[in-house]
Amino acid sequence: MTCTTSSEEEEADVPRAALIFDVFVFYFDRFVKTLPSFTGQIVVLFCVLPVSVSIAVFLVTALFNFGIAFVAQTISSVVLLLLLVPCLTLCVLSAISTAYLLQIGHFVYRRLVRPPPTHFRKLEIEEKLKIS
């Protein structure tokens, strides 16, 4: 009989899938925290709004279509959704890259408008100490 520590017993009680999910959530949260602040606005503007409008149009037309037209519309909407998923992925990736480019542009603009000071604060502190 082998001796097991309490940490090994605790790990044995936790299912492996739960650990994988926790690790995924941890890294996803870290990734989201590194994104620029306006990434969500870009994603909503260029990804969520067009998809919600297309879903609304589908629902409105589904109310008025019956029979064969409804079956044809359902088949075409499934095909469109199969095309829409990669497009949404591409849109989200382009929104993230656009947000990073806008952030870099903002940093460059701020640097050009307000150049760094010609003197260092450390020198000012040393001068104040010499005066005292």
Burial level of 36, CB count in 10 A (0-12/13-18/19+)?
Answer: middle
User: What is the value of pTM for the model shown?
Assistant: 0.47
pLDDT value of residue 125? 66
Q: What pLDDT tens digit does each residue of the chain (132 aa) get?
A: 555 555 555 555 656 767 888 888 888 888 778 777 777 777 777 777 877 887 788 777 777 777 777 777 778 878 877 877 787 788 788 888 888 888 888 888 888 888 766 655 666 666 777 766
Beta carbons of 16 and 61 less than 8 angstroms apart: no
pLDDT score for 37: 76
**Secondary structure (3-state) at 55:** helix
Which residues, 6+ apart, have CB-to-CB distance to 96 below 8 Å?
35, 39, 43
